[in-house]
Structure 1
Amino acid sequence: MKQLLVFVLFSSLFCWLMFSPIYKHVLVIRQALLQQEADYMLEIGASGRFGYIDGAMVAESRERLARHGFDPSRLEYEVTSANGEEATVASSPLRRGTGIRLRIAYPYENLLRIDRLIGLEPPSEDARIAGGGMKMSEYVPLSD
């Protein structure tokens, strides 16, 4: 009986030691991809040509992230401005010096469930990894 118990405990620890780094690596890569996408969108959206991040830009971002294995329907985008103005309307871009904030979130999707083998509780179902930031708009209207 002791041998069976030792085998079960050892095998669960062995599984965790083998597979945990892989899942952690996937988690780190996903977070890095989210941050890279947020940086890219902020660079484009805050440029002198746009001054906003609209629905079309978000749709293109969803497509880019879907190519990396993300489920587009589970991606959450939050676009705001530093002064409270609407940052998603193409007809009224944010003027130069106004901050555009972007946050892209995605659920963990049970990536850390294997940690239960060693007694660690995985994140809750509604917990999310995210990437984001803020960039000042560079948009200057041609005529006032």
Structure 2
Amino acid sequence: MKQLLVFVLFAALFCWLMFSPIYKHVLIIRQALLQQEADYMLEIGASGRYGYIDGSMIAESRERLSRYGFNAPSLQYEVASTTGADATNAFSPLSRGIGIRLRIAYPYDNLLNIDRLIGLEPPSSDSRISGSGMKMSEFVPAG
């Protein structure tokens, strides 16, 4: 009986040692992709041509991230400005010098449940990984 218990405990530890690094790498890659997408969207949205991040840009971003395996409806986008003005309005772009903040969040999707094998509690179901940033708008109104 004692040998069976040792075998079960060893098997659980062995499974965790084999598969935990893989899931951790998936988590790191997801976070890096979210940060890369946030940086890209800020670069485009804060450029002199736009001065905003609107719904169509967010839809294109969802499509790009879904190609990497993200579930598009689970992605959350938060766009704000440093002045409180609407940073998603294409008809009223933010003027040069006003900051655009963007945060893209995605749930862990039970990715770290394997940590339960060694007694670690995984993140709650409402916890999210995210990529975020802020860039100053370069848009200059004509006229």
Fold in common (TM above 0.5): yes
1-side partners of 2:133 and 2:73: how far apart? 22
Q: What is the number of equivalent residue pairs in this alignment? A: 143
- What amino acid is the match of 1:11? A
Per-residue displacement from partner, 1:81-131 (whole Å, max 9, x unpaired)? 000000000000000000000000000000000000000000000000000
Read off the aligned partner of 2:111 and give its amino acid letter.
L
- 1:19-66 CA-to-partner distances (Å, cap 9, x unmatched) read 000000000000000000000000000000000000000000000000
What pairs with 1:1-144 in structure 2 (closer than 5 Å)? Answer: 1-143=1-143
In structure 2, runs of 5+ residues without a counterpart are none
Residue type at the aligned position of 2:51:
G
Sequence identity (%): 78
Cα distance in 1, alignment partners of residues 111 and 124 from structure 2 = 11
Runs of 4+ in 1 over 4 A off after TM superposition: none
Pairwise CA RMSD of aligned residues?
0.2
Structure 1 length-normalised TM = 0.99
Give the distance between the partners of 1:53 and 1:68, measured in 2 at CA.
22
Q: In structure 2, what is the Cα distance between the partners aligned to 1:12 and 1:71?
A: 30
Q: With the length of structure 2 as denominator, give the TM-score of the two structures.
A: 1.00
Amino acid at match of 1:106: Y
